[in-house]
Amino acid sequence: MGGSSSQLSKELLNEYQELTYLTKQEILIAHKRFSELLQKENNTDPDRVSKENFLKLPELQANPFKDQICHVFSTSERRDDSMSFEDFLDMLSAFSDSATLEVKSYYAFRIYDFDEDGALSESDLRKLVNRLTGEENNSKLTDDEMNELIKNILGESDIDKDGTINHSEFQHVISRSPDFVSSFKIIL
């Protein structure tokens, strides 16, 4: 789509604005940042930023889900989680203040669904909790603490009592959490 050209045409800028929750100014800033990342690339695809370079963005460095974020938003056919400009815009749009609760919960669910089976299982929840609390020995929950927390999460969220949290159940829980929308963002 021409995302890596040095300048965005007015038509393309308008199209991106229509397709995202971003303002023209945010799109231009994103394009500048993406172009800077592209200049650091030495790969064979001139329109994609490698996962390694993408994760060097200061906004992602401390995020415990940064690898999952790349994976969920990447459309790379090589499955290397590299990012095109459009992938980058999709990510920024989903994390923007203007994105709806439905959009944010959809992407959050995909980010937290580590095994990509369409449900948050006990295994997914363990990974989620470990990433949020830290996986070092001094901050890691004991097995009993983890089991109790998983039991409580499923007790509150697993409406159909199948042992997992599906997207609908996740969305229901998120709708009761007013802080979710404001905390699910990346600012460039």
Residue predicted with more confidence, 15 or 62: 15
Continuous H helices in the chain: 10-19, 24-39, 51-54, 58-61, 66-73, 85-95, 101-112, 122-133, 143-157, 167-175, 179-183
Tokens 């089991």 map to which residue? 147
Tokens of 92: 């920024």
In degrees and rounded to multiples of 5, residue 120 shows phi and psi of -90, 105
* CB half-sphere exposure, 109, CA atoms < 13 A: 21
Contacts of 107 (CB under 8 A, 6+ apart): 72, 73, 94, 95
Of the given ranges (3-7, 19-23, 168-172), which has the lowest mean pLDDT?
Answer: 3-7
Domains of the chain: 10-95 (1.10.238.10), 101-183 (1.10.238.10)
Express each pLDDT in 32-81 by its tens digit. Answer: 999 999 988 876 678 999 999 999 999 898 899 999 999 999 999 999 99
Q: What is the CA radius of gyration of the chain?
A: 18
Greater confidence (140 vs 77) lies with: 77
Average pLDDT for residues 74-97, to the nearest whole number?
95
